Amino acid sequence: VPLLLEIWGLQENTTRIRIKELNPLRPRFEVPDVLVAEPPVERLEVTGRDEGSLELSLGPGGHRILVTEKPFRLDLLRGRELLCSVNARGLLFFEHLRPRRDSDPPKDDTPSPDVGQEEGAGGTEDNQGEKPPETPPEEEPGSWEETFKTHTDTKPNGPTSVGLDFSLPGFEHVYGIPEHADNLRLRTTEGGDPYRLYNLDVFQYELYNPMALYGSVPFLVAHSSRRTLGIFWLNAAETWVDISSNTAGKTLFGKLMDYMQGGGETPQTDVRWMSESGIIDVFLLLGPSPTDVARQYTALTGTQSLPPLFALGYHQSRWNYNDEEDVAAVERGFEEHAVPCDVLWLDIEHADGKRYFTWDPSKFPQPRAMLERLAAKKRKMVSIVDPHIKVDNGYRVVVVGGPPTLTSILSPGSAAYPDFTNPEMRAWWASMFAYDQYE
């Protein structure tokens, strides 16, 4: 199945590489709503050509990219310095879309008249010595559906994973790909699990572990004393990131001895990205400083909103407050112990039967008065609203929001997810937080 490779030289010292099927059976998922706009491009110039290779100039920054055909490889250079190699380890994979085997039309197995019919016959003179047609490999278990206890999760598109490796010579330290309960500097994953990017509500998580947590940002930064470089993997599917290093097993003393003896390898970190579906769409942010990489990244995705001043203070949050008196007692405790506190949080039990945008009439009968008491002491309250709505015909949010299209069993019982990929649904959801909708 032929793949299409696209390369852009972008402004702000950034290179974009995209790989997808040339003629897929159906469109593959490409992430919307992340890039603030299509990034402005620089003109690519062909500065060298050889059999099986092509050299391109990446704008005025002095960067070049060398494209090698067999084996496929991309090398990014600045002058004579190699900054990054793509697919240097040959780990590119791309599971193309395909029809399910048991959905293929039955084949006519009637042999042609010139083929030997007897058991063990070797065929006619014309096809003597020909190899029989290869039997396609068996589908791996779970390619089209997976069963978890009593639930079967069907995958109508079949296996569609993608992956690519990046080699970073001269870099010993890499950071980023939040969110994980681990060191700031990412550790090598050789002999263990890769870092996982998959948003999960984890009640208890392990420390110093690559397991997934609440958020996923597929952005990795490599840093050395000479240069900083970023990799932004634009893919929203479940993703795994494997990290290896040629200096991982060396102690600080061993590295010092290498340096004093003038020997030792140039440090190198290798990063392999693997995603469950989608296409390969990656931005290489060439720095060279940490500030430059931050600017290059935010030029693609936008900048963080400035937080309100109160968000920087101390917040008191726990699973739940029982009622309004419980809130008042906790607040009094801060006063008695002279502990500053700017914000108290209410978990989902403050709502009426977990119907979000409402208040429990018996436990929180006077929410406005409770908020005014907090405001008088310059404190604020956050009430948690989960992004799913209880399925209940008497619940006004479902009536206003329309019939649910995707349901699941969650803490409210049977619940519906609004389709947040729809801009109209996002606008409706935002309107629910107005004071005339939610006291």
Q: 270 and 386 share a domain?
A: no
Q: Residue 134: its pLDDT value, please?
A: 65
Q: What is the CATH number of the domain that holds 350?
A: 3.20.20.70
Confidence tier at 116 by pLDDT (50, 70, 90): very low
On whether both 290 and 350 belong to a single domain, the answer is no
Q: What is the mean pLDDT of residues 275-293?
A: 97
Verify that 208 and 357 share a domain, yes or no.
no
Tell me if 192 is assigned to some domain: yes
Let me know whether 167 and 193 are in one domain: yes
Q: Is residue 400 part of a domain?
A: yes
Determine, yes or no, domain membership for 399: yes
151 within domain boundaries: no
pLDDT at position 171, please? 96
Return the DSSP state at 119: T
Kind of pairing between the strands at 3-10 and 14-21: antiparallel
Whether 287 and 313 share a structural domain: no
Do 50 and 198 lie in a common domain?
yes
Mean pLDDT, the chain, rounded, equals 87
Q: Are 297 and 246 in contact (CB under 8 A)?
A: no
Residues 292 and 343 in one domain: no
Q: Is residue 340 part of a domain?
A: yes
Instruction: Quote the distance between the C-alpha of residue 23 and its chain's center.
Output: 25
The model's pLDDT over 58-104, given as tens digits with 9 standing for 90+, comes to 877 789 999 999 999 999 999 899 999 999 999 999 999 999 877 65
Rounded to 5, what percent of the chain is helix, strand, coil? 15, 30, 55
- Judge if 178 and 257 occupy the same domain: yes
What does the pLDDT look like over 420-435, one tens digit per residue? Answer: 888 888 888 898 899 8
**Is the per-residue pLDDT at 125 higher than 60?**
no
* The pLDDT of residue 400: 56
Kindly state whether residues 317 and 409 are assigned to the same domain: yes
pLDDT digits (tens, 9 = 90+) for 373-420: 999 999 999 999 988 888 887 787 765 555 445 555 556 667 888 888
Mean pLDDT of 266-287: 97
Measured CA to CA, the distance from residue 244 to residue 195 in angstroms comes to 12
Q: Are residues 297 and 261 in the same domain?
A: yes
Which residue has better confidence, 247 or 182?
Answer: 182
CATH number at residue 73: 2.60.40.1760
Domain boundary among 301, 324, 350: 301
Q: Per the domain annotation, does 358 fall within a domain? A: yes
Residue 351 lies in a domain: yes
Q: What was the pLDDT predicted at 410?
A: 58
**Domain housing 223:** 3-95+158-301
- How many CB atoms within 10 Å of residue 180? 21
Note whether 177 and 216 are same-domain residues: yes
Tell me the pLDDT tens digit for each residue of 20-46.
999 999 999 999 889 999 999 988 899
Residue listed under structure tokens 């263990």: 192
* CB 286, CB 83: distance < 8 Å: yes
Its pTM stands at: 0.82
Say if CB 381 and CB 345 are below 8 A apart. yes
Nearest to 249 by CA among 196, 168, 172, 183: 172
Domains of the chain: total: 2
What band does 184 get if pLDDT is binned at 50, 70 and 90? very high
pLDDT of amino acid 114: 43
Which of 285, 301, 317 represents a domain boundary (last residue)?
Answer: 301
Residue 203, pLDDT above cutoff 60: yes
406 shares a domain with 314: yes
Last residue within a domain, chosen from 266, 301, 336: 301
Residue 136 lies in a domain: no
CA distance 327 to 344: 8
- Would you list the DSSP string of 160-195? --EEEEEEEET--EEEE----SS-SBPPP-TTSPPE
Highest mean pLDDT among 8-17, 137-146, 162-171: 162-171
